[in-house]
Structures are given as C-alpha cells and as structure tokens.
Structure 1
Amino acid sequence: MNKLLSHVLCAVLLSGFASAAPASSGSLSISSASSSVASLSSGTSSSSAADATPTVPYASDNPNDRLWNITETNLTAVVPERGSIGASILGPQNVPLDVQNADLLAPPTTDSGDIPNVKWPFSLSHMRLQTGGWARQQNVNQMPIATAMAGVNMRLEAGAIRELHWHNTAEWAYVLKGTTQVTAVDQNGRNYLANVGPGDLWYFPPGVPHSLQATNETEEGSEFLLIFPDGSFSDDGTFLLTDWLAHVPKDVIAKNFRVDISAFDEIPGEQLYIFPSVSPPPDAQAPSDPQGTVPSPYSFEFSQVNATQYSGGTAKIADTSNFPISEAISVAEVTVEPGAMRELHWHPTQDEWGFYLEGQARVTVFAAEGTAVTYDYQPGDISYVPAPYGHYVENTGNTTLRFLEIFNSPTFEDVSLVQWLALTPPALVKAHLQLSDSVIESLNKTKPVVVGPN
C-alpha cells in the first residue's frame, strides 16, 4: 500500500512540473537545436530548421515605400509624417529641397541611427567661372566621409583649353557631352593625342603632364566628370604651366630654353586655368616623337563596350582588364529600368563614389550595428558608400535610371547577397531567415546584378 501511494504521489508531482513549465518563446528548444546542428553539419537538408522558434520579433511587413516623388504637386503632402508617427513642420520649410529628399524628411521605419552624409548635389558646389568654361568640385570639404576620391565637373566651350598641367594624383575622366582632345607626354618623353567622345574615358597617371581641349564637333564644346583617387584633392591645387613660369625669373626661363629673354615678353603673369582658343582639327596628330608614343593608351572607348543584360537593366565595367593604364580607378556603368533595382550588395575593400546621370534613385545604406539611412538621388547628384556598407539602388521613377559606380581600385569587385545565400548550405540560410525550401532553391547562384520588378 505504501509503495502504491509513493508511485501515485510521484506521478502527480511530475505532471505538475510539466504543466508549470513555460512555453518556449524566447529560445530554441533542446530538440530543435540539436536537430538543426545535425542538419547544418550535413549541409544537405533544411527541413529541421523549420522547427526552431523565434528568438526575436519578426520584421515588420510594412513595405515602407517612398511617400512622394520629385513631380509631387500636392505640397501639403510633403511633411515629416509616416503613418501615425511624425508631425507637420510649423516653422520655415525649404519645400523644393524636401520634395527631392522624401526619404530624409519621412524616412522608412527600417531606418535607424545616423551616418555621415553620403549625398552631395553638384548644384551646391561653388562654380569657378572662367572665359571659355567653368569647373566645380566635391571633396572632403563638401562630403567629409568621402575620403577615398574627389570629383570635378568641368565644361569647356568649343576650342577652349584646360591648360597644360599635372597633378600629384592620377586623373580619370568620363565624358558627359561633346568631344575633348587630350594630349600628354610621359616621363620617358613618349607622347599621346586622342579625341575622347561621350561615354568614353581617359586616364593620366600621377605626375604625367597633359592638356584638355574641347573640339567643335558640337557647338557646345564638351563637358566631363573628373575623378581623383584622394578625397582631399582640390583642382585649385593643380600644377599649371603658366602659374609656374609666372613665378620663375625670366633670365632663368631664357637660360633653360636657350633663347633670348625677349621671347618671353608676353607670357601670362598669372595662371590661365581655362581659356578660349581655336578649335583643334578633328584629324590632329601628335608631333613626331623619337621616343615613340606611350605603350598603353591613355583613353578608352567605353561607349563601345557591350553591356551585359540582366532582368532589370544592364551593366558594363572598365578596369585594368580592358583599360590597363587605369591602375587607380575602375568603374561600372549601370542602367536600371522602372521598378527594378541594383541588387542588395556591398564592395569588400573599396569605397564607392557614385554619380547619377539620368532618372531617380532610392538607396538605403546599411552601416552595421543596427544603423541604416535612406537617400534619394537625382541627375547631377553624388553618392558615397564606404566599404563594406550594404546597399541597393532602386529606380523610383518612370524612366531608365543610369549611374556610375566608381572605385579607387584597379579592378571592380562586389559581393551579391543573393549569390552568397544561394551558395551557402540551405539549412544555415533557413536557420537565419526561416525561408521555405522552395524559396531557397530558387536563389540565383550567379549574380543577378540588376533585378527586374516582381
């Protein structure tokens, strides 16, 4: 009888402990964790990960669309409100600027924390006006985070010359409009001359003297983007021919060139920088050179490179694989169709200096530690994404988006989020994201690059 009573009491106590045990809502159960470990080690099955319980809340299903675009006419909608959060501005408001920056004024709820500014419109850069053209620049003074590269936007009227000069850094260029005739002589006395047209590139190594002159192929002359692999670079610090000779005693100049001092009676007393001149002939040739021409061309017909077609747009690359002299700068030119996006990705070792040529873009920059900020870009805007910040570029307009991704690197490199997950053991992916087997199996094992709309 006593033995029977003991068994009954034990059964009651055990059932009480079982009913009092809390439901597992904050951690994996021992059984699911052990089965997950077993499947992870095999790398072949993902089914057991489905039994895991969440350790954190699920992400919101809120799509967090941009609330207006740059054509917005209902200006009462341009307010820092998203759903039930935020409130209108009672004080002064720069509405035209806010219209262009919807995701700064009313950020998606996925944004968190803050990062240094990664947007700079060239429209806010000071213009240096000259007879024959103009120049404006962006460096760390305008965007302090952009330490790896600086940019200059320059326009030359037909025939105008950006005078003979050199830099302590390399110079890389993308021609926006018109044709520019470039000349250079390297340290071994070998010369170079070429006409560089829209969408084409030139590159001069550090210290190589060169000149730029707009041809009259179009009435407007030419306009181009210059990139220098140093964020503190200033085009005002260029080594100019006229500036140098204006600061050398004339008897020294005469002695150097072995001519009479009177030959230099009319040299400029200060730098010219940009000045008007007669347009060069389209068939101009470099002077005959006993040392020969440079062994690796300083220009590249990037416009003739066939872009790779993807589901949502195109991309093409210029780096040392096809433009060997460009040892400090590489570029990808990307197009994104309406509703499509440059995929979620990052660049492993080099910062990205971006320039928007056409269309409207939305970019969220993820800086780790729960920090993400979203920006909107229009033509003429500069973006900057430090390595290895995660980001995407979404076309939020109704026309083709076209932009440049530029790097201080001899080769273009990126890491695709989709490809990374597709080539990772499925159970690992499922344990992290709780995706279905069919979704994991559908992941692209080659880089999507530009993803079309669903």
Structure 2
Amino acid sequence: MEIRSKFSIRLIVLAITINLSLALPSSPQPYSWTGSFGDDESSEISPLRGHPSLLGVITKEVNPESSASVSSDKYELAPGQGASAELGIPFTFEDTTNPQPIRGDLGSTDPGPRTYSYDRLNPDTLAPPGSDSGDVEQAKWPMGLSHNRILPGHAGWSRQENVHNLPLATAMAGVDMKLAPWAYRELHWHKANEWGLILNGSVRLQTMNEDGQTFVDDLTEGDVWYFPSGIPHSLQGLDKGSEFMLVFDQGDFDDGGTSLASEMFLRNPKEVLSKNLQAPLTDFDDLPKDQLYIFNGTPAPKDIKEQNVTGPGGFAAGAESYTYHLSKQKSYETPGGSIKIIDPINFPIARNFSAALVTIKPGAMREIHWHGTSDEWGFFISGNARVSVYIAPTSGATFDFSAGDVSYVPATASHYIENIGNEDVVFLEVLQAPRFTDISVGQWLKLTPKQIIKDTLHLPDSLLDNLSPNKQYIVQGNTNLTSALGSRGPT
C-alpha cells in the first residue's frame, strides 16, 4: 500500500511538471538551424538565415527581368573589333561605349559587374587576338598599383616592382623614386647592382669606391648612372627636383631593405663610434633617432666643384665613371622611330647592364625579336602600346601597356612593341648582358636560304625579296590601325 502511494504521488508530480512546462512560453526557435545565440541572430522583421524551404527545387523561379545578355543598342564595337580574330587588328576603347569581350565571331557580351577603366586600358586582355594561346604568365605591372611610400615634409616618394607583384620578373626589379628640390636619398648601399635613368628634373650624384676614388656629377632627364653592389652613394634633387627609374639585378629586390648610413650609426654603440672616429661621445648626441631614407636638405652649391672631395685615390674618371650622359647621345634614326643603345661598350662600369631607349612613332612597331641570354625588363615612359609574347612551345598572349607600366619578357621569348596610340611610345628595355643584342625575325628570314623558308612557312618570293639583311629595330607602319583589313570585311 505504501509503495502504491509513493508511485501515485510521483505520477501526480510528473503531470504537474508537464502541464507547467506546456504553459510556460518557449524561446522562439523559428528554424531548426538557428544558432546558439538564438534571437540575437534574428530581428523582428526577418531572420539572419533563411528558411529550410529555400533549399533545392522551387517551381517558377526564373526571373524574366534578369538577363546575361547586353542588347545591341547598349554597346558598340571599336573600329577593327568586328574583324576576324585571326587578323588581330589592334583597337582601342577610347571612344567606345560599354566595351565588350568580342573579337570577330569570338566571345560574347558581358553585363557586369565590371570596372570599365580596366577594360579600356586592356582591350587585348578583354578581347584577345586569335593568335593568343595557352598560358603565359602575367607580363605587366602598373607602377600606379604599387604601394607608394610618401615621406614627411613633401620630401619625395618611392614605389617599387618586384616578384611579389610580378612573379615572372625573377631577374630584375624596378623602383620609381621622386626627390623634391634639394631633398636627399640618404647615403646608402645595396646588395644588388643599381642602374638608373632620370625621367625628369635633375639630380646631383655622389659616391666613393673601395679604392677611395670619389665621384660627383650632375645629371638631367635622359641621363644614366650605375652603382655596383656595396658601393656607398647619395642623390640630391636639384632646384627642380627629380624623378628617376632604378633597375636592380635581383627579382626579389626590396628598396626597404637598403643599407642606410643613419641605421648603421644607430646600430653601433656610441662608445664604438667614438673610438672608431676618434671623437668625443658628445659629438654623437644629435644623431637621427630613426632612418632618414628620403629627407629635405640644404641647397647644393651651384658650382659642383665645391663638392669635389678627393683623397689619395683621386677622382674616378674615364671607364671608371659612374654616369653616362645618354641625353646627349644622338639617336639611331629609322623611318618608324629612333633608338639609343647603352651597354658596357659605351658605359664600361655597368658590366652586365645593357639597355635601349626606344621611341616608336604612331602606327610603327619595335620589330619582332627575342633576346638569347637575358630576360627583358621594360618600362613605358609615354604612349600606348601592345606586346604579344610567344613562349615555347605553343603559348602566346597579348598585353596592353601605357605610361608607367612595367613589362617583363623571359629570355628567348619572341615579342614586339606596337604603337597603337596617337603619340610616340617611349620605352626602356633593360637586359642583364655584357652587350645589347637581339635576334631580329626579319633579318633571320632574309639570311636563311629562301628554299628553307618557303618549304617551312610557304611565304611568297615577293615578301622574302623585300626583306632587309639588316636589323630594322623599328618598322614603320600605317597610323590607320585598321588599314590591314583592306577588303577582308567589316570593321
């Protein structure tokens, strides 16, 4: 009897508990996947996550207002864009509404999302010629996308290109640097060899080598300098300031890793500095508290002779000079433009740096060529151009370049530089070689027995007879970019 009473009591307690639990309000759990935060992940209007009914098949889901096509009245093709893709007619989107990835009968419209500025700058990437094939690594880097290091007091700035933003460029890197009037690039030295070209303005350069020979010189737009690794030097912008392009023979070069005079003094105990330089400790009280890198200075004396400091080693001159006044070198003229070559033959101290400063007139092109032993690092100073790169055995890609862009082409890869704009293209090409050399495709065809060429490429005698046995460097062309169409069809 006692056992039954206890059992009855338990049943009554359980029933009351169940009724109470049913009567209590429950936490809203609208969907089975609501997280541990419960209502914190929802609002009174809508949940953070949707309902399970949205999974899988839903009838009548097509939205007739959404389309992946662009109607023909919403875009236009650029002149030459409608021509057969195999012709590869150059075109620009400069005056084109809503550029589209179409070339001839290839491609289709793109409704977006898009950044039209990229498309306008890169028509041959958006709508490549039919000759493009396979996989060619990115060969272009705009310096305008490089992080800019800007310095206090409006002293200047510096930005760089290396393998971190252009992985193909394994052998060379570039630094674009600006010094305000009288600003210094502080006393420093590098692990890499440095080759420089002044883009604008003027600069005073100073150095000393291992033999105690000193050197100071003023350079202006178009002039060149060279510093071997380990040689300390400084640069100062003159009264108009200066911007210059530096090329280093290491693809992973980082200008932030430069050895600096200020840092060297900070990293040595003052007791050591005092002993080494035979000076009282108080002489080091005003040392910079941090690196200087680029900083404002006092005006350089107008008479450069006032800064000609010489010791027992004398002054570096002749073949040991660290500068070359390329601005005063006469250009080699061709019908399509001009070229200046500077290499160790005329600038001996730059032992493995060879370069060409090329000017290409509108419609003309730097002839198809390749470099047998060196990659080519390039910088576009002005104008608009396109470059097609062929890499064995079957890959080819076309890239578009404008002022401020860096280009990079591996050794033995054929390429050209075609001016597709209305102004001169000025282009710097740099090699790691003791002499500036290339293989000209036109010259190769001319100097190969005609039978071999005809059996291989089926080219007519009229073409082969018209070729020159000399390198052309720059080939003249028609400024009408669609002139190659002739009667082949619509543009």
Shared fold, TM over 0.5: yes
SS in 2 for 1:355: strand
Mapped to 2, the partners of 1:61 and 1:141 lie a distance apart of 34
Q: Does 1:144 align with 2:167?
A: yes
Tell me which residue corresponds to 1:398. Answer: 422
1:256 to 240, 254, 276: 276
One-letter code aligned to 1:222: S
Q: Out of 260, 264, 280, which is 1:240 matched to?
A: 260
Amino acid at match of 1:68: T
- Is the contact between residue 375 and residue 431 of structure 2 (CA under 8 Å) also seen in structure 1? yes
Match of 1:89 in 2: 110
Deviation sequence 1:378-420 (CA, Å, 0-9, x none): 0000000000100111010111111011112221110000101
Tell me how far apart the structure 1 counterparts of residues 302 and 199 of structure 2 sit (CA, whole Å).
19
The partner residue of 1:284 within 288, 304, 309 is: 304
Which amino acid is the alignment partner of residue 164 of structure 1? L
Q: Specify the code of the residue in structure 2 equivalent to 1:113.
A: G
Cα offset, 1:90, TM superposition: 3.0
What runs of 5+ residues in structure 2 fail to find an aligned partner? Answer: 1-83, 479-491
Q: Secondary structure at the match of 2:304?
A: coil
* 2:342 aligned partner: 318
Q: 1:270 aligns with which of 269, 290, 300?
A: 290
Per the alignment, residue 461 of structure 2 pairs with 437
| Structural RMSD (CA) | 1.2
Secondary structure (helix, strand or coil) at the match of 1:178 reads strand
Higher relative contact order (CA 8 A, sep 6+): 1
Moved more, 224-233 or 83-92: 83-92
Distance (whole Å) between structure 1 residues aligned to residue 459 and residue 137 of structure 2:
34
1:160 is aligned to: 183
Which of 195, 201, 206 pairs up with 2:218? 195
Q: What is the 5 A alignment of 1:11-50?
A: none
Instruction: Classify 1:210/1:87 alpha carbon distance in 2 versus 1 (closer, same or farther; 3 Å).
Output: same
| SS of equivalent residue, structure 1 residue 440 | helix
**Residue 383 of structure 1 aligns with which residue?**
407
- Deviation string for 1:70-119 (max 9, x for gaps)? x23x332x111122221222331010011000000000111111211100
CA distance in 1, matches of 2:236, 2:85: 55
**AA of the residue aligned to 1:98:** D
Identity fraction in percent: 43
1:294 aligned residue (316, 319, 339): 316
Q: In the superposition, relative to structure 1, how do residues 61 and 276 fare at CA in structure 2: closer, same or farther (>3 Å)?
A: closer
Q: Could you tell me which residue of structure 1 aligns to residue 434 of structure 2?
A: 410
Q: Secondary structure at the match of 1:236?
A: helix
2:3 maps to what in 1?
none
Is 1:110 the equivalent of 2:131?
yes
The TM-score, its normalising length taken from structure 2, stands at: 0.78
C-alpha contact (below 8 Å) 1:342/1:449 kept by paired residues: yes
- Contact 2:91 2:420 (C-alpha < 8 Å) held by counterparts: no
Q: Does 1:367 align with 2:401?
A: no
Deviations 1:244-283, CA, capped at 9 Å, x for gaps: 1111111111111101000000101221101001121232
Q: Distance in 1 between matches of 2:180 and 2:444?
A: 48
Instruction: Give 1:61 deviation, angstroms.
Output: 8.6
Hey, what does 2:58 align to over in structure 1? none
The equivalent residue for 2:247 is 227
- TM-score w.r.t. the length of structure 1 is 0.84
The AA in structure 1 aligned to 2:169 is A
Please identify the structure whose Cα radius of gyration is greater: 2
- Matching residue's letter, 2:466: S
Per-residue CA deviation, residues 31-60 of structure 1 (Å, 9 max, x unaligned), is xxxxxxxxxxxxxxxxxxxxxxxxxxxxx8
Q: Is the 8 A contact 1:67 1:106 kept in 2?
A: no
Q: Distance in 2 between matches of 1:312 and 1:106?
A: 27
1:121 maps to 142
How many equivalent pairs are there? 389
Task: Note the residue ranges of structure 1 that are not aligned, 5 or more in a row.
Answer: 1-59
Distance in 1 (alpha carbons) for counterparts of 2:117 and 2:302: 43
Matched to 2:217, the amino acid is A
- Give the partner amino acid of 2:277: F
Would you say the 8 A contact 2:344–2:352 is kept in 1? no
Distance 2:291 2:352 in 1: 28
Q: 2:90 is matched with which residue: 63, 66, 70?
A: 66
Report how far residue 67 of structure 1 moved.
3.5
- Asked whether the equivalents of residues 335 and 474 of structure 2 are also in contact (C-alpha less than 8 Å), the reply is yes
Cα distance in structure 2, aligned partners of 1:452 and 1:248: 60
| Equivalent-residue separation in structure 2 for 1:138 and 1:418 (angstroms) | 33
Q: Which residue of 2 aligns with 1:36?
A: none
Counterpart amino acid of residue 252 in structure 1: V
Superposed CA deviations along residues 342-390 of structure 1, whole A, max 9, x for unmatched, are 1011001100001001111010000122210000100000000000100
The equivalent of 2:17 in structure 1 is: none
CA contact (8 A) 2:86 2:129 kept: no
Q: What letter is aligned with 1:288? A: T
8 A contact 1:114–1:373 mirrored in 2: yes
In 2, distance between residues paired with 1:453 and 1:419? 18
Q: Distance in 1 between matches of 2:214 and 2:91?
A: 55
Alignment correspondent of 1:333? 357
Q: Secondary structure at the match of 1:75?
A: coil
CA contact (8 A) 1:215 1:282 kept: no
- 1:128-155 deviation per Cα after TM superposition (whole angstroms, max 9, x unaligned): 1112000000000010110110000000
Contact 2:85 2:130 survives alignment (8 Å):
no
Bigger mean CA offset, 293-302 vs 422-431: 293-302
Q: Check the 8 A contact 2:387/2:416 in 1, yes or no.
A: yes
2:120 matched residue in structure 1: 99
